Amino acid sequence: MAQLGIMATTFDRPSLEATLDAVAASGAHSVQFDLACCGVPTLPEQIDASLCERVRRAFAARNLTMAALSGTFNMIHPDPGERAAGLRGLRTLLAACASLGAPVVTLCTGTRDPDSMWRRHPDNDTPQAWTDLLASMGEAVRAAEEYGVTLGIEPEVSNTVDSARKARRLLDEIGSPRLKVVMDGANIFHHGELPRMREMLDEAFELLGNDIALAHAKDLDHDGEAGHLPAGHGLLDYPYYMALLHRSGFDGAVILHGLSEADVPGCLDFVRNAAPPGFWSADGA
């Protein structure tokens, strides 16, 4: 059964412990964590064993589970040096996952935009962009296999993997059980596709439902870019989205993000109540 969780970065606190205190107080049990909450980069050059131990103790003391760890960087950045630096940082992160207690690391499949990995660029659809993605992802997956970590990529309309079909293609071409997807129903609608919401969601789950490592919960008010609204504040058909997650057999964490701290209580209740009976674990919602 699934667990309801939240991104740790939702809470702006001066320390790791204060951040996790806020998470625990919210009622969430699962966390998508970011090392930025410890005052270091998301992809640091090195991770001290003492920091890993501190994180593990802080999670255990609050009865929290680290469902995933953020490892995003631009995997098809137009500068090969930027891609190489991201891959070095990712390897460092993967090497520390066992000590941190992180089974999944989330990735961004990237864009040719040099300044923002969340901004669409026309060159994202070129054969060379796909070739570069395969090279970056291949290296990432080899490291994930070495360290026993699952990678989660998210179909997102601003990135090179901008649809469920492209995500399926990437999974098939890489061919590793260590590469899975992060399902986010608010991220898959190109211009003009929102009126076909259920059809698009059905396709996404048909193609990817057996390969979901993590689910995200936010909302959208228009198509053509990723959603940026708190869950329940937009147009996504949440009962249908949650029913599809349930039907797929998903039993991981559903992570709230794209919300302010003030939105947290209402959004937790909304997502909890939008799911069908039997979806949530007894202590995970």
pLDDT of residue 284: 52
Region of 224 please: left (phi>0), alpha (psi -120 to 50) or beta. Answer: left
Residue written as token pair 């059964």: 1
Q: State pTM to two decimals.
A: 0.96
Tokens of 220: 């959208």
pLDDT of residue 263: 98
pLDDT tens per residue, range 132-146:
999 999 999 999 999
- What DSSP character marks residue 195? G
All domains of the chain, ordered by start, with CATH? 3-274 (3.20.20.150)
- The CA distances from residue 264 to 26, 134, 242, in Å, are 7, 37, 18
Region of 220 please: left (phi>0), alpha (psi -120 to 50) or beta. Answer: beta
What is the chain's Cα-based Rg?
18
Pairing of strands 253-256, 212-217: parallel
Predicted confidence band of residue 24 (pLDDT cuts 50, 70, 90): very high
Q: Are 99 and 52 in contact (CB under 8 A)?
A: yes
CA distance 166 to 60: 38
Q: Indicate if the alpha-carbon torsion angle 137, 142, 143, 149 is positive or negative.
A: positive
Predicted confidence band of residue 283 (pLDDT cuts 50, 70, 90): low
What average pLDDT does this structure show over 205-227?
96
Q: Are 4 and 29 in contact (CB under 8 A)?
A: yes
